[in-house]
Amino acid sequence: MVICSVSPVSALKAEATDEQLKVMNEIEGTDITIGEYLQKVWPQFYDELSEEQKEKVNCWKKSWPKSLSENQVSES
């Protein structure tokens, strides 16, 4: 059994600015890590991470959801 533990965080709410949305759209689908994503889109959250947490997120690849068109089943 593998158990992943993350430090508890108080309620987190973030609303993206127009600039953040622009960056998100520009990097969507690219081959980046979670750390790179956070640095580009949410630098304030990245800065709050401990050095150990930064090391971990800098190694994790960012996954992207499949587009809706890829998830749709063609109707015959």
- Torsional class of 29: left (φ above 0), alpha (ψ -120 to 50), beta (otherwise): left
Q: Please state the φ and ψ torsions of residue 69, each to the nearest 5 degrees.
A: -65, -30
Rounded to an integer, what distance in angstroms lies between the CA atom of residue 1 and that of residue 66? 29
pLDDT digits (tens, 9 = 90+) for 26-74: 999 999 999 999 999 999 999 999 999 999 999 999 998 886 445 444 4
- Say if CB 45 and CB 34 are below 8 A apart: no
Write down the pTM of the prediction. Answer: 0.68
Confidence of residue 13 (pLDDT cuts 50, 70, 90): low
